[in-house]
Chains A and B, each alone.
Chain A
Amino acid sequence: MNFDLTEERQMLQDSLRRFLRDKYGTAERNKILESDTGFSADIWNGLAELGIIGALFTEDQGGFGGAGFDIAVVFEELGRAGVVEPFLDTAVLGGGLIADLGNDDQKAHIEEIIGGTLQLAFAHGEPASRYDINRVSTTAKADGDNIVLNGRKAVVVNAENANMLVVSARESGDVGDEDGISLYLVPADAKGITLQGYALLAGGRAAEVTLDDVSVPASARLGEAGKAFMAIEARIAAANVAICAETLGAMETACRLTRDYLMTRKQFGKPIGTFQALAHRMSDLLIEMEQARSAVIVAAGHLEHDRKARESHVSAAKNLLGRAGRLVAEDSIQMHGGIAMTQEYELAHIAKRIIMSDHRFGDTDHHLERYIALAAA
C-alpha cells in the first residue's frame, strides 16, 4: 500500500494551494459573495488555466485525470480555501454526464468546459424528491422529431450562470422507477425555461427551474432513452466524493484556525488552549479529522469499482463527514466564541461550507440508511 500522492497530483495540489492562498482571502471572497453573480470570472479563468478543470476529466475525455483521487485532490484544496465557484456543477456533474453518456457532437463541449468558457448546471432534484435520486416526475414526451419537457427542478446550483442545463426527465414508468429516466442537454435560453434565482447561504447561487413545454430535438438526449439512471447515480457518487473532499479541506481550515486561536487568545492570564476542557476538545477534532481523511481516501479509491463497493463507500464517507463535519464546525465556533460568528472572520464562511455540504445529494441520515440497505442487498 502507498498513501502518497503521485507526483502529478502533488504538483496539482501545490499549485492550486498557492494560487488560492494568494488570490482567495476572506475579503476577496466576501466581495464575490456579495456580487450579483455570486461568482468570480477571474478566479474561474485562472483556475481553468491552471488545469483544475482538466484534472477532473480522463485522458480519453480530453483531460488528464478524472479518477477519484484527482477529484479528491482538487476539491480538498477548493474546500480548504472555501471556494464558491461551481466546479462541481459545471465539471463533475454537467461535464461528467456529457463525458459519460454523450455522442461525439455532445462531447465536443468538453473542450470548452476544460477551457473555462462553458458553464453547466445539473437540473435533477425536484421539490418532492428530497435526496431520492430516482424520484423524477418531470416529463419528456415525444412530439414528432422533438421532445417536450415539463416539470420543476429544485435548488439548481449555477443555473443562472449556465450556458446549458443537463435536465433529467421521465420518458416512462412511475415516479420512483429507476428505469425510464433520460437526460437532455438544454440551452439555458430555450423557450419555456423560467429561472427564479437566489443566493445560497454558503455562497454561490441557485435557481428554481420551471420547464413549461420546453421543446428540444431528440438529438439533445444524452445516451439511450430512459436509461440514464445508472450514469446519474455514478456521477452523483463522484460528486459526493468531491463534496466530502471539499468538506475535509474546510475542516482542516477550521481546525487550523481554532488551534491557532486557542494558542494565542488569552483569558485569565493564559492562552485558553491551556485549559484542559478546550485542549481535549481540540484533540477530539483532530482525531475526527483523521477519520474524515481516511473515509475520503477510501471513497475516492472505490469510485472506479463496481456499483455496490462504490456506493457503500461513498455513503460511508458522506455519513462520517456529516457527523465529523458538524462536530468540527460547531466546536470550532464554540471554542472561538463570538468572533467566529462574524462575517469578517474566515471561520464563519468555512463553517457554513461544512454544514451546508450535508444538504446536497444526501445528508448524514440518508447515507446511513443507504449504507444499511446496500449491506443488506
Chain B
Amino acid sequence: MDLSYSDDEKAFRAEVRAFLDEKLPKEMSDKIRKGEELGKEGQEKWHAILNEQGWLAPNWPKKFGGAEWDAVQRHIFEEESAAAYAPRIVPFGLSMLAPVLQKFGSQEQNDYWLPRILSGEDWWCQGYSEPGAGSDLASLKTEAVLNEEGTHYIVNGQKTWTTLGQHANMIFCLVRTDKKVKQQEGISFLLIDMEAPGVEVRPIILLDGTHEVNEVWFSDCKVPVENLVGKENEGWTYAKYLLTHERTNIAGVGFSQAGLTAVKRIARAEMSGGKPLMENPHFAARVARVEIDLMAMSTTNLRIVSKAAAGTAPGVESSMLKVKGTIIRQEINDLARRAAGAYAMPFASEAIEGSNLALPDPLNAGPVAAQYFNNRKLSIFGGSNEIQRQIIAKTMMGGGA
C-alpha cells in the first residue's frame, strides 16, 4: 500500500495546474467562485480552450481525438479544476453520448457526430425522464414509429428535466419502439435534431429562479432512420451502459473540497460573539465532521478510481459514491448558508447574470442559500439516492432485497 501519487501523476498535476493558471480566464473563475451564471457563450469559450489544449475529451480514446487519460489522471484534473474554480464542462455530448456512440454507434455516426462534439458545433442534451417516468425510467412513453417507406421515425411524446435544453440543438432520446414486449425490451436510442419541425422546448423555472431545465415536446417529429444508434429495441442496454460508464466524478470530491474551503472562508469573515464564527466550537465541530467524512470519501473514491484505472469497471461502488458524495456536498451547502447568517436571506441567484452586484455581501459568500436549494437536485437526478440504495441492496443481497 502506498498512499502517495506516483512521480508521473505528480508531474501531471503540475501540468494541469500550470495550464489552469495560464489559460483559465480570471473573469470566468471569478464568476464560478461567486456562483454566477456562465451562460452559453462562457461555456463555449471554456470548451474551446480545452479543445485547443487537447483536454476536452479526457475519457475518449486517442483515435477519436480524446486525451485517453486513465481514471487517476481524470480525478486529478477534476480536483484541480474545482480548486481553480474552472467551469464544469457540459457533459451530455462529451461524456454521456460519445461513449455510447463509440461502443455501439456505426462508423458513419462516429465520423459525423464526434468531431462536431469536439468543435462545439453541436450542443447535446439528454432526453430520458418523462413526467410519468422518473425513477421508473423504463416505463417511458415517448413513441417512435417507423414510416411506411422505412426512412423516418415519427416521434410523439414529452421529455422533462432536460438540462440546458434551451441551448441545445441536438437531443439523444430513449423512445418506445415496441409496446408489445417487456418494457425494457421495446426502447430505442435515437438522435433528434431540435431544430426540426415538431420539437418544442418549454422552460421550467426552478425554486432558486434559475432556468436550467426544460420540457421538450415532440409532435409528429420526423427523425431519419440513420439517427438510430445501435439496434432497434436495444436502447435500454445502451442507456444502462451510459449510466455506469461515466461515473468517475460522481462523488464530486473536487466540488466538495472547493465548497469546504469556501465555508471556512465565510466563517472566518462572519463574526459571532465578537469572534470569527470559525472559532465557535459548535460551528467548528460541524465543519470538522464534514471534513472527516470528505477525507474518507475521497479516499474511497481514489480506491475505486485506481481499480477502474486497472481496468475493472466500477459496479455497486458508483452507487455508494453517489449517495455519500451527494450527502456530503449537500451538507457543505447547508454549512455555507448557516455560516452566512442573516446575509443568506437576500435573493442572490445565479438566475440573471450580474444580478447579484447590487446585493449586500460583506462576507463575499455568494448566493449560498440559492445554491443550497438548487443542490437538492444532486440527490434526485441521475438516479435518485433511493434508487442507488436499491441497486446496492439488490447487488449485495443477491436480488433478495
Residues of A participating in the B interface, judged by any CB pair closer than 8 Å: 125, 127-132, 135, 154-155, 175-176, 196, 198-202, 206, 208, 266-268, 272, 275, 277-278, 326, 330, 333-334, 337-338, 341-344, 348-349, 351-352, 355-356, 358-360, 363, 365-366, 368-369
Chain B 359-401, CB within 8 Å of chain A: the 1/0 string? 1101000000110110011011100111001100000000000
Residues of chain A contacted by B330 (CB below 8 angstroms): 330
Instruction: From the candidates B270, B358, B386, name the one contacting A196 in the complex (CB within 8 A).
Output: B358
Residues of chain A contacted by B334 (CB below 8 angstroms): 326
One of B131-139, B171-179, B225-233 contacting the partner: B131-139
Alpha-carbon separation in the docked complex, A294 to B25 (Å) = 54
A311 shortest CB reach to chain B, Å: 17
Alpha-carbon separation in the docked complex, A326 to B376 (Å) = 12
Instruction: Confirm or deny: B161 has a beta carbon within 8 angstroms of a beta carbon on chain A.
Output: yes
Residues of chain A contacted by B206 (CB below 8 angstroms): 341-343, 348
Instruction: From the candidates B139, B270, B386, name the one contacting A130 in the complex (CB within 8 A).
Output: B270
Interchain CB contact under 8 A, A363 and B389:
no
Interchain CB contact under 8 A, A131 and B384:
no
Instruction: From the candidates B134, B273, B342, name the one contacting A155 in the complex (CB within 8 A).
Output: B342
Residues of chain A contacted by B389 (CB below 8 angstroms): 277
Interchain CB contact under 8 A, B136 and A365:
no
Given A337-B134, A337-B380, A352-B373, the answer on whether A359 and B207 have CB atoms closer than 8 Å is no
Query: Beyond the given A128-B271, A365-B286, could you list 6 further A-B residue pairs with CB under 8 A, ordered by the A residue number?
Result: A125-B342, A176-B273, A198-B360, A326-B334, A338-B381, A348-B206
Chain B 107-136, CB within 8 Å of chain A: the 1/0 string? 000000000000000000000010010111
Instruction: Confirm or deny: B12 has a beta carbon within 8 angstroms of a beta carbon on chain A.
Output: no
Instruction: From the candidates A127, A330, A338, name the one contacting B362 in the complex (CB within 8 A).
Output: A127
Instruction: Confirm or deny: B282 has a beta carbon within 8 angstroms of a beta carbon on chain A.
Output: yes
Residues of B participating in the A interface, judged by any CB pair closer than 8 Å: 129, 132, 134-136, 139, 160-161, 204-209, 213, 270-274, 277, 280, 282-283, 286, 330, 334, 337-338, 341-349, 358-360, 362, 369-370, 372-373, 376-377, 379-381, 384-386, 389-390
Instruction: From the candidates A341, A358, A360, name the one contacting B207 in the complex (CB within 8 A).
Output: A341
Given A344-B205, A352-B207, the answer on whether A201 and B135 have CB atoms closer than 8 Å is no
Interchain CB contact under 8 A, B369 and A356:
yes
Instruction: From the candidates B135, B209, B349, B376, name the one contacting A267 in the complex (CB within 8 A).
Output: B135
Instruction: Look across to chain B and name the residue whose beta carbon is closest to the beta carbon of A360.
Output: B342
Alpha-carbon separation in the docked complex, A59 to B330 (Å) = 48
Interchain CB contact under 8 A, B343 and A154:
yes
Residues of chain B contacted by A275 (CB below 8 angstroms): 386
Residues of chain A contacted by B160 (CB below 8 angstroms): 338
Residues of chain B contacted by A128 (CB below 8 angstroms): 271
Instruction: From the candidates B282, B369, B386, name the one contacting A365 in the complex (CB within 8 A).
Output: B282
